[in-house]
Amino acid sequence: MSDKFAFEVVCEDATCSARIGKLRTARAELETPVFMPVGTQASVKTQAPSDVAATGSRLILANTYHLMLRPGAELVHELGGVQRFMAWPHALLTDSGGYQVFSLAKLRKLDDDGVTFRSHIDGSRHALSPERSMQVQALLGSDIAMVLDECPPGDAERADVQRALERTTRWAERCLACEAAADQARFGIVQGGSFLDLRVAHLETIASMPFEGLALGGFSVGEAMSVTYELLGELGPRMPRDRPRYLMGVGKPIDLLRAIAAGIDMFDCVLPTRNARNAQALTWNGRVNLKQARHRQDQAPLDARCDCPVCATYTRAYLRHLFAAGEMLGPRLLTQHNLHFYQSLTRAAREAIRERRYASFARDAEAQMFELDEVNTGR
Amino acid sequence: MSDKFAFEVVCEDATCSARIGKLRTARAELETPVFMPVGTQASVKTQAPSDVAATGSRLILANTYHLMLRPGAELVHELGGVQRFMAWPHALLTDSGGYQVFSLAKLRKLDDDGVTFRSHIDGSRHALSPERSMQVQALLGSDIAMVLDECPPGDAERADVQRALERTTRWAERCLACEAAADQARFGIVQGGSFLDLRVAHLETIASMPFEGLALGGFSVGEAMSVTYELLGELGPRMPRDRPRYLMGVGKPIDLLRAIAAGIDMFDCVLPTRNARNAQALTWNGRVNLKQARHRQDQAPLDARCDCPVCATYTRAYLRHLFAAGEMLGPRLLTQHNLHFYQSLTRAAREAIRERRYASFARDAEAQMFELDEVNTGR
């Protein structure tokens, strides 16, 4: 165990593969399963860092692609790194930048060396190689850096997935060949699309490298969630027991419930923050859309079971009014609630694992969420 | 002194007409001079009520026009009034709705009975009479209601100003003829444009009526601020000593400094909240525009003299980044700072009055603000 990173499994459920881990980075100590709120541009949208910390969160994610373009990695470094820049005193994970290059940038050119692209902001030309990604993440100063990988679309052919996977392996080796930044752990990424044999083989390859943690990339990119759940059931238990397992970019509450059962430890997703800005609250009883007229006179809180400041203070009628009137306070309050809900969900999951009743907890939680929300099944 | 409202002058400066008052409404007790943040649609834009209260503010303003259209005065009443609706446990002043009818509504028709108009939101037809304004404000449940007045434009002819003023007098009488709502005080409004003799005569008329407070309306509607200052110097000292004096819709920090010297007790203005959303901070050293590139690497706080949480936590470089990146946290943090600044400004003014040195305090504060900000002189 180094000073900058440690992980140990402290509890395993008997009813499934769920587990509780203790994760320590340079700046935080926390328990897994953990959900990481997304602070894309060094801000968890609408929230002050103290709001995020008040939900219990101690580890957030920031996007390398966005920060390298604006305000620039070198400037962030001069200003003391992302954490000091945004006044977030806890832990931070940065992605490699690759995913956003593929989804946002223009005129990209991808080869073995890396990817060149034009900024979606001002059209300026940039390059991202495995080495530059590690350098940028070192400048950003995150606790956990991700390797650059190639993530093919969800409907990619087997041969394309295979090629992307092989490139991802070569890039992982090049990332590891870079000198590790002080206080920064590095996680490898497993690709392989929806092909179980490719996934298993790539997992073995990446697991054989000295990464502090392992991530599953290339999920939640358009494939059916039933496929994801099935693959997770196979892959989760095969991932190294002594290192954290991170499922990138996932997901809905039910996705977390399912993935935790498969032994996944870490999650990130824009869903709780993005959906909040579209007037959608996530609750123990499913989704609540505050644009609906039925909330107009509703003096109930968003979620009677929730102990967040928003549910303690405001009625649905007022929250609906804020969205109807276009008030920024609406997105802010709903984001606060949704982040609180995700922390409550993972906290309740840990509690259930500790008491060796995770499978029944997840079944009950899912059933309750379905009752009011058939869209949210992902099946 | 009734249970619902009381005012007494507790201290008068020797160097000018500035004074400290103690104002008590049904829901708050506070000292004047006081600045009221504007919560147009039952939300001080971007701020939670606890943020506003944390600046020291105990009295805010909400707009009758907006709330009668959306969500509707009757609904707000059902939901417990504006304060309970928005979870603001302190005092609230509502305007009459008239000012926004003139500035926002469409197809309005004004006569002695009142004004009919179409909503700027959905085109629906509404009417506002002195009686309906008082009824709506009673439904909204504010601590202080304003009479319906007619506010002519800043460049109006004397004859038009005279006519508007006479109508305002008739409407004031009709407002007073309505039964006062429980826990609600009523303020009269003095009009008269930039004509001192009309202003003085109207002041005498309105002051002769049993209003709990007197307001000066029709300032900050396009006239030169030098004219306003001159008129205030004449009118302020002529206003009844034993009732609060409220200058509506004003203003910039320098306007407050000048008006306080003339004996004004109460202010409201969208400037600190609106300008914040446009990246403009108000500080003891004048305005700071965070869109300017010179703040890009600036690790200083917005205002080294400010003790607000924003100045204690964030650098100008980060705040600038938030605006450059279009993050909602930018407007939110700048609003918090600006509201804090306005409360600090009025607090410092009261301190100076208490020590009978207001004139020199105001001169020094103005000089300091001018140094960096020549636009802000209003001269």
| Secondary structure (DSSP) of A23-45 | EEESS-EEEESEEE-B-TTSS-T
In this structure, of A24-33, A146-155, B316-325, the range with the lowest mean pLDDT score is: A146-155
Q: What is the mean pLDDT of chain A?
A: 95
pLDDT for B377 equals 38
Say which amino acid occupies B213: G
Claim: this prediction has a pTM higher than 0.80: yes
What is the pLDDT at residue B376? 42
Percentage of the residues of chain B whose pLDDT score is greater than 90: 90
Position B92 pLDDT exceeds 60: yes
* Strand arrangement, sheet containing A125-128: A106-111, A114-118, A125-128
Interchain CB distance below 8 Å, A314 and B87: yes
Residues B323-329 have a mean pLDDT of 98
Q: How far apart are CA A161 and CA A152, in angstroms?
A: 6
User: Å from A294 to nearest chain B CA?
Assistant: 13
> Per-residue b/e over B67-77, b at no fewer than 16 CB within 10 Å?
bbbbbebebbb
Is there a contact between B70 and A42 if contact means CB atoms under 8 Å apart? no
Tokens of A54: 């008040």
What does the alpha-carbon distance between residue B325 and residue B338 come to, in Å, rounded to a whole number? 21
Neighbours of A169 (CB within 10 A): 20
Distance from the Cα of B325 to chain A's closest Cα (Å) equals 7
Number of other CB atoms surrounding residue A74 within 10 Å: 12
The span from the CA of B153 to the CA of A69, in Å, is 48
How many whole angstroms separate alpha carbon A203 and alpha carbon A214? 9
Tokens representing A283? 């609750």
In this structure, the number of other CB atoms found within 10 A of the CB of residue A196 comes to: 14
Identity of the residue in A70, A317, A329 whose CB atom sits nearest the CB atom of B46: A329
- Confidence class for position A378, pLDDT limits 50, 70, 90: very low
Question: Using 50, 70 and 90 to split pLDDT, how confident is the model at B105?
Answer: confident
Is residue B375 over pLDDT 70?
no
Closest CA to A333 of A352, A355, A366, A309: A309
Compute the distance between CA of residue A167 and CA of residue A21 in angstroms, rounded to an integer. Answer: 31
> Cβ(B55)–Cβ(B333) under 8 Å?
no
pLDDT of residue B262: 98
pLDDT digit string, tens, across residues A208-238:
999 999 999 999 888 889 999 999 999 999 9
Alpha-carbon distance A99 to nearest alpha carbon in chain B (angstroms)? 19
- Please tell me which of the candidates A47, A87, A322 has its beta carbon nearest to residue B314: A87
Q: What is the mean pLDDT of residues B203-224?
A: 94
Q: Give me the helix-helix angle, B158-177 and B196-207, nearest 10°.
A: 10
Q: Which of B225, B310, B250, B214 is nearest to B36 (CA)?
A: B250
Q: How confident is the model at residue B3 (pLDDT cuts 50, 70, 90)?
A: confident
Residue appearing with tokens 């446009």: B278
Cross-chain Cβ contact B318/A85 below 8 Å: yes
Q: At what angle do helices A196-207 and A158-177 cross, to 10 degrees?
A: 10
What single-letter DSSP state applies at residue B148?
A: -
Closest partner CB to A46 (pick from B85, B315, B328): B328
Q: Where are the beta strands (DSSP E) in chain B?
A: 5-12, 19-25, 29-32, 34-36, 59-62, 91-94, 106-111, 114-118, 125-128, 144-146, 185-190, 213-216, 245-247, 266-268, 280-283, 286-289
A104 touches chain B (CB under 8 A): no
- The answer to whether A347 touches A336, Cβ cutoff 8 Å, is no
- CA nearest B182: which of B9, B48, B4? B4
A317/B79 CB distance under 8 A: yes
Q: Read off φ and ψ for residue B185, nearest 5 degrees.
A: -90, 160
pLDDT at A377: 38
Q: What is the pLDDT of residues A122-142, one digit of tens each?
A: 999 999 999 999 999 999 999
Mutate to test the interface with B, among A140, A318, A333 (most CBs of B within 10 A): A318
B158 touches chain A (CB under 8 A): no
pLDDT (mean) for A316-333: 98
Q: Which of B297, B319, B321 to mutate to test the interface with A (most CBs of A within 10 A)?
A: B321
- What pLDDT does A373 receive? 47
Helices marked H in B64-157: 64-69, 73-78, 81-86, 98-104, 130-140
Select from B96, B116, B120 the least CA-distant residue to B106.
B120
* Residues sharing a CB contact under 8 Å with residue A95, sequence separation 6 or more, in sequence order: A61, A63, A64, A65, A146, A248
pLDDT in tens, A40-72: 999 999 999 999 999 999 999 999 999 999 999
Overall average pLDDT of the A241-247 stretch: 98
* DSSP assigned state of A239: S
Given A75, A297, A329, which is nearest B78 (Cβ)? A297
pLDDT in tens, B6-40: 999 999 999 999 999 999 999 999 999 999 999 99
Per DSSP, the three-state class of A189 is strand
The pair phi, psi for residue A324, each rounded to 5°, is -60, -35
Please, what is the angle between helix A329-354 and helix A316-324, to 10°? 140
Residue A118 has pLDDT above 90, yes or no: yes
Going by their DSSP bridges, the two strands B280-283 and B266-268 should be labelled as unpaired
Polymer length of chain B: 379
Interface check B119 vs A, CB under 8 A: no
Provide the token pair at A103. Answer: 């989804």
Q: Which of A5, A21, A15, A1 is nearest to A239 (CA)?
A: A21
- CA distance linking residue A348 with residue A56, whole number of Å: 13
Mean pLDDT of B169-192: 97
Asked if A354 reaches chain B (Cβ–Cβ under 8 Å), the answer is no
Residue A183 CA to residue A180 CA, distance in Å, equals: 8
Peptide bond into B71 cis (omega under 30): yes
State residue A371's pLDDT score.
62
When scoring B44, B51, B318, B339 by the number of chain A Cβ atoms within 10 A, the one with the most, hence best to mutate, is B318
pLDDT of residue B371: 63
Give the gap in angstroms from C-alpha A177 to the nearest C-alpha of chain B. Answer: 32
Nearest chain A CA: its distance from B288 CA (Å): 20
Handedness of CA B161, B167, B172, B173 (dihedral sign): positive
Residue B378 has pLDDT above 70, yes or no: no
Instruction: Say yes or no to pLDDT of A84 above 60.
Output: yes
Give the chain B residue whose CA is nearest to the CA of A42.
Answer: B322
